[in-house]
Chain A
Amino acid sequence: KAGVTQTPRYLIKTRGQQVTLSCSPISGHRSVSWYQQTPGQGLQFLFEYFSETQRNKGNFPGRFSGRQFSNSRSEMNVSTLELGDSALYLCASSLGFGGPYEQYFGPGTRLTVT
Chain B
Amino acid sequence: AQSVTQLDSQVPVFEEAPVELRCNYSSSVSVYLFWYVQYPNQGLQLLLKYLSGSTLVKGINGFEAEFNKSQTSFHLRKPSVHISDTAEYFCAVRGTNAGKSTFGDGTTLTVKP
Binary contact track A42-78/B, C-beta < 8 Å → 1, others 0:
1101001010000110100000000000000000000
Among candidates B45, B51, B106, residue contacting A100 with C-beta atoms closer than 8 Å: B51
In angstroms, Cα B90 to Cα A105, docked, is: 13
B69 on the A face (CB < 8 A): no
A58 touches B32 (CB 8 A): no
A100 touches B100 (CB 8 A): no
A106 touches B96 (CB 8 A): no
A33 on the B face (CB < 8 A): yes
Binary contact track B96-108/A, C-beta < 8 Å → 1, others 0:
1111111111100
A48 touches B44 (CB 8 A): no
In angstroms, Cα B52 to Cα A99, docked, is: 11
Query: How many of B's residues come within 8 Å of A, CB to CB?
Result: 25
Write the nearest CB–CB distance from B8 to chain A, whole angstroms: 15
In angstroms, Cα B32 to Cα A33, docked, is: 17
B46 touches A56 (CB 8 A): no
Does more than half of chain A's interface fall in helix, strand or loop, or is it mixed? strand
Among candidates B32, B43, B51, residue contacting A90 with C-beta atoms closer than 8 Å: B43
B99 touches A97 (CB 8 A): yes
Q: Which residues on B sit within 8 Å (CB–CB) of A58?
A: 100
A49 nearest in chain B by CB position: B99
Q: Which residues on A sit within 8 Å (CB–CB) of B28?
A: none
Among candidates B46, B90, B101, B106, residue contacting A104 with C-beta atoms closer than 8 Å: B46
A4 touches B49 (CB 8 A): no
Q: Which residues on B sit within 8 Å (CB–CB) of A35?
A: 103
Where the two chains meet, the residues of A that have a C-beta atom closer than 8 Å to any C-beta of B are 4, 31, 33, 35, 42-43, 45, 48, 50, 55-56, 58, 90, 92, 94, 97-100, 102-108
**Closest 3 A-B residue pairs measured CB to CB?**
A105-B43, A43-B103, A105-B44
List, sorted by A's number, 13 A–B pairs whose CB atoms are closer than 8 Å.
A4-B43, A33-B99, A42-B105, A42-B106, A43-B103, A43-B106, A90-B43, A92-B44, A98-B96, A100-B52, A100-B96, A107-B42, A107-B43
